[in-house]
Structure 1
Amino acid sequence: MSPISRRAVLGGALAVGAASALAGCSAGAGLADDGRSLRYWDLFTGGDGATMRAMLDAFRAEHPEIDLEAVTLQWGPTYYTKLAMAGAGGRAPDVAVLHLARLPGYAPAGLLDPFDPDLLAEFDLTEENFPAAVWQRAQYNGQVYAIPLDTHPYVMYYNVDVCREAGLLDADDQLIPLRGPDAVLAAFTAAKQVTGAYGLVTETYGTDGVNPWRMWWTLYRQLGGELLTPDGRDLAIDDAKALRALTFMQQLTSSGAAIREADGSGSIALFSSGQAGFMWQGDWEVTTLLASGVPFSMTRFPAVFDNASAQADGHSLVLPHRRTRSPAQARATYQLIAFLLRHSVTWAEGGHVPAYQPVARSAEYRALRPQSLYASVVEELALDPPVWFAGSASTLWLEMGAALSPVLTGRATPAEGLAAAKAAVRRLLATPNPVQ
């Protein structure tokens, strides 16, 4: 394992609020390292937070001998700053949640501890029980550093009543497959004629808007495009493919098939109120839409181009670096992780696709509708490049979102959007990893 550098711990972005972060990391540091107490961190502040708390309560009920202290921290950069500080100080919680695409920013810096292969085997947390692409991304230098909990892909929500009236459902009342740009545009236009308002709604702008990145990365990967060279050091954007994706994005809004200007919450509100036939968003809005009463279902993002890849990330469970971790403490930690994975059908109710295949293949999960209807996307995931600045709540998402948003809103041409995107990636490539 690489030694932990103190350069960024004491300076750069992580220095902001360092004293308070370290204070937070030391909370509970005096708990006995005897396997009878566990400290757990996550960033689930939304509806999925309530689901996770219920799962943790179930673990407590099954394992009353373990005192589980669970802490939920603010989602986004704040969480990742504190997690880095915790690992750097060696006084971290026993287990924490990490977006899988953020692993390249943490494992190489020595901020995480690798998993013990013998304990993984004992608790049935082994390669054959996870999707191949996801398991591969959970490793660094041949060791497992993350246990995938779920995959959360970019998906398509649709209003069943609107699509039925627009003639877009099959005999089983499911959305007919939409393949190719013309079919997708035609479906959204037909839905708009029914609603009298919008065909597709999706986030096109916002202070922290990342949906333009999700959309472009999905479409660009459907064309087989790469962002970086295999070593992650240089830009490798294929201009022709990138422009083809951006041209389609602008065509969506300029044609009126999709809303031109909407932030994330606005697009969700419009779909929830029945003013749109379709919505492109992450899979986590299931609970919101069920509560709204809108007649909706979900499906995979359409194969606009050469394949049906869809942008995705996932939550995983990691071992933040600790100076000591006793055998008893380690065993209790693996017990918690295995419990959460074995019960992840509960977690899937919020929309995420279970990573643990015994659950993903179970009759209980497959009966979960509409949550299981897009599960096959795990075979065609458009994961972020494995670099430190990628992943959920990352600088890449924010900078690419800002660069590509004007293409959707009509304030920039596809060529201008591509130039801005390439400039953003070059800046990131020239920036040292702040935790190394």
Structure 2
Amino acid sequence: TSFAGDITGDLTGNADTATTATNATNATNATKINVADESSDTTCFPVFTPSATGNSAPKTGSNLTFNSSSGLLTATSFAGDITGDLTGNADTATTATNATNATNATNATNITISKETSDTTCHLVYTGAAPAWGTSNTTPHVHGTSLTFNANSGVLSATGFSGPITGDVTGNVSGSSGSCTGNAATATTATTANNLLNYESLTAVVGELNLLDGSAAQVVQALGAEASAGDDGVLAYDKSGNMVSWRTLATVCFLEGTKITLSDKTQKNIEEIKTNDFLLSYKFKNLDNYKQDLEYLMNWYSKDLQGEISRTQVSQLWENETDQYYIINDKLKITPEHLLFIRKNGKYEWYPAKNIKKGYYLLTSENRFEKIESLELVDERTKVYNLKLDGIMNYYADNYLVHCSSKCDECENNN
């Protein structure tokens, strides 16, 4: 029933206990097993045990498979860190360094953006509140109608814009505190405008119009009625009535060929006068020689002539056309509103050409008075010129003393 001692040779049967078994068909507990490389099976079952150490029965599960041909390990779920690439979708990802598609991402530091040039209506993404950059997260939003971008034309549209804008603006700029720096090719309404060119119409409603005279702003309360200026006119300020009204450019000018006396007493045609030319002028002792205010000049008179020959300088020359002018003493051709220095009934005054009468006297460049013998009104469209002066506001045209009044000065904006 039993043997004691060493046995040499083969034994057939089972050994209840074997310290060492080189080959055993069945081993209840084995430290090592013999394995072979397998690369053809598509479905294999990895072996696992329910215990981490000790003797335990090996097991497999249908929910854990291995494809020995492709090297793919498949399970219903995985827990723990994964190093390497993942293929497929993640229902929930706390942190994804790179995600091809994320259905919902709570926080994303970087996103992939594709170029779009065909869509006509795109919606910009914005946040509801400014986050602490780099340390907190906020929810993105879009608005369906008030903020859109046309990817085809590059136009950003919103119901309003606040802050500096550089570039061209199409549409109206409004707001009590809004301002524009630069030039507006077309402005429907300009609260403050330094220069108005190529106007189609100007309308003043209840409010204020600010005029700058180079040192301070003059507030004007209303816009006067438009004169019958035809196509060409200027917006002139009448200080006496605190009124802005239209004036014909041609009513304050001289015709081509008018002789202007230079400071050396030579003469040039008015159309040949250049900026910075010095002209002969008269410096009054009892008149503000540098004032252009029309009301002041029209109200001024003197019973004696006090002054001396002087000079002034041209700062600008402009041209226009007129439909009407006067010819005085068969030589001076002057538009109706231009002021001349006259003597009548023992008084010296400034008169517009339209109020001149025969028998009045005009002051010449020889410092003597010449009687008006002829006066003719001509209805004819022709070119006219005028000057702006820097200094004494009078000069000699066809040897007669004339003034560069405020109406004339306003014409400078025409050129």
> What TM-score bracket applies, with the shorter chain setting the length?
under 0.3
Structure richer in helix, relative to its length: 1
The one of the two structures with greater contact order (alpha-carbon pairs below 8 A, sep at least 6) is: 1
Q: TM-score, normalised by structure 1?
A: 0.21
Structure richer in strand, relative to its length: 2
Q: TM-score, normalised by structure 2?
A: 0.22
Bigger radius of gyration among the two:
2
